[in-house]
């Protein structure tokens, strides 16, 4: 059985991961397909998948290392308020 604080933190991390990946994936598709050229701030920029892969790895590591333990601590500290016991 997973402790409640860890369960809540995993749910928060999953929601953040899915929403961020969906939004960035949409922008990546538009960028790599050339449909984003009208909105580009830097007109001479060449888009490639390596930049997006590097960002995905960085986001995943930051989600696992600082975000997840901090959220476990926060949910553990306020578990009574979340459960409605206060």
pLDDT band at 67 (very low <50, low <70, confident <90, very high): very high
pLDDT of residue 32: 92
Could you tell me the end-to-end alpha-carbon distance of the chain, in angstroms, rounded to an integer?
A: 24
Alpha-carbon gap, residue 62 to 67, rounded angstroms: 7
Alpha-carbon gap, residue 58 to 63, rounded angstroms: 9
Query: Residue 36 has which token pair?
Result: 């984003």
Q: At what angle do helices 49-62 and 4-32 cross, to 10 degrees?
A: 170
Tens digit of each residue's pLDDT (9 = 90 or more) over 1-28: 778 889 989 999 999 999 999 999 999 9
Tens digit of each residue's pLDDT (9 = 90 or more) over 51-66: 999 999 999 999 999 9
pTM reported for the whole predicted model? 0.80
């Amino acid at each position: 059985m997973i402790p409640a604080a860890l369960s809540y933190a995993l749910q928060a991390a999953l929601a953040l991961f899915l929403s961020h990946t969906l939004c960035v994936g949409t922008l990546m598709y538009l960028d790599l397909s050339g449909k984003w050229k009208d909105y580009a701030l830097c007109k001479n920029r060449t888009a490639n998948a390596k930049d997006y892969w590097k960002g995905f790895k960085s986001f995943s590591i930051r989600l696992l290392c600082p975000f997840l333990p901090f959220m476990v601590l926060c949910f553990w500290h306020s578990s009574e308020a979340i459960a409605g016991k206060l």
